Amino acid sequence: MREFIINHNDAGQRADRFIRKAAPGLPDGKLYKFIREKKIKLNGRRCEISTRLAEGDIIRMYIPDEFFAKAPKAANPDIPGEINIVYEDENILILNKPSGLAVHADSDGCADTLIARATKYLENKGEYRPADETSFAPALCNRLDRNTEGLVICAKNAESLRILNEAIREHKIEKTYLCTVVGTPREHEGTIKTYLEKVERENTVYVRKTKTPASKTAITKYRVLETDGELSRVEVTLVTGRTHQIRVHMAYIGCPILGDGKYGRNDVNRRYHRKTQELRAYKLRFNIPPDGLLGYLSGRTYRIGDSE
């Protein structure tokens, strides 16, 4: 028998969703069978799959051990514990990711990622205990390319993650970047709207002028801050958040980002000795509603180096 006491991160979800996470090896057919046979109980009674769990509820499962998840592993001791924290409270972290560090593990298999470092940091602080969690782990709410530096939000609990993911989907978190581009845009301020299509096998994104089944709408606003004719400093605000969006859009208008080896000009990159793109996610503004768990963030802006 396994017993699970519902904590604040597990509360609010349907019982069947929690059970699938607690016992990932349990097929749906057996899940429903065990519930009918009262081998899965909620607070000592038959468990209804649609019941919303509350903090303090107790689920007991009288089922074979083979169906349960393996015990969570402790933080990898080889992962560096250093992270650059721009802002932290009991619900979120805002981190300044360095260029060259992936946000999540990718095909290279490297264990050292931003989320691994953030998780280790929270474990070391005692704010995250894997053994106490069944369905939640700290999670990043936005992503940056490996060679793009800048601000990334990490949720410390399930409710914060839900709120932030919804805010990002509804464009209530404004993300602004600074970049150095080759040349000067014809219009010093404007909006770029195209359709972008990612080819997975190439890890490359292509601009489509008309909508295709595989493409997604991409909208980027930009403003030239300064230029010497050969290079320009540009502020960019994302309306949508597609893979490689800024890099592709700036190349599309004839002003690729300096140092970008995929979409840029390698002759200029070599001349300026740049091997990674000059692109930084430098500002986040929270336009979320003032109520709810994260209501205190409403109207706040965080920048690399300061906040307001």
> Which DSSP category does 131 fall into?
G
Task: Provide the number of structural domains found in the chain.
Answer: 3
| Residue 23 belongs to a domain | yes
160 and 190 share one domain = no
117 and 211 share one domain = no
Torsional sign, CA 74, 17, 140, 199: positive
Q: What is the pLDDT of residue 268?
A: 97
Q: Specify whether 78 is catalytic.
A: no
Please choose, from the candidates 39, 38, 112, the residue with its C-alpha nearest in 3D space to the C-alpha of residue 76: 112
Q: What is the pLDDT of residue 308?
A: 47
Q: Which residues of the chain have pLDDT under 50?
A: 307-308
114 alpha-carbon distance from chain centroid: 10
Which residues, other chains included, contact 126 with Cβ-Cβ below 8 Å and sequence gap of 6+? none
Which residues, other chains included, contact 223 with Cβ-Cβ below 8 Å and sequence gap of 6+? 188, 189, 234, 235, 236
Report the CATH number at residue 147: 3.30.2350.10
Domain boundary among 67, 97, 114: 67
| Residue 239 belongs to a domain | yes
Q: What is the pLDDT of residue 82?
A: 80
163 and 247 share one domain = no
Which residues, other chains included, contact 112 with Cβ-Cβ below 8 Å and sequence gap of 6+? 78, 79, 80, 101
| Residue 226 belongs to a domain | yes
Digit-coded pLDDT (tens) for 50-83: 899 999 999 999 999 888 876 556 556 678 778 9
Residue among 10, 57, 145, 260 flagged as catalytic: 145
Q: What is the pLDDT of residue 101?
A: 93
187 and 146 share one domain = no
* Contact of 160 with 91, CB cutoff 8 Å: yes
Which residues, other chains included, contact 266 with Cβ-Cβ below 8 Å and sequence gap of 6+? none
199 and 253 share one domain = yes
Report the CATH number at residue 41: 3.10.290.10
219 and 236 share one domain = yes
| Residue 167 belongs to a domain | yes
Q: Rounded distance, CA 279 to CA 270, Å? A: 17
Q: What is the pLDDT of residue 73?
A: 60
Q: What is the pLDDT of residue 95?
A: 97
Q: What is the pLDDT of residue 108?
A: 66
Q: What is the pLDDT of residue 78?
A: 74
Question: Domain containing 253: what range?
Answer: 176-281
51 and 122 share one domain = no
Q: Rounded distance, CA 149 to CA 146, Å? A: 8
| Residue 292 belongs to a domain | no
What are the b/e assignments for 204-227, b being 16+ CB within 10 Å? ebbeeeeeeeebbebbbebebeeb
Please choose, from the candidates 239, 255, 246, 268, the residue with its C-alpha nearest in 3D space to the C-alpha of residue 188: 255
End-to-end CA distance of the chain: 51
115 and 164 share one domain = yes
Predicted structure pTM score:
0.81
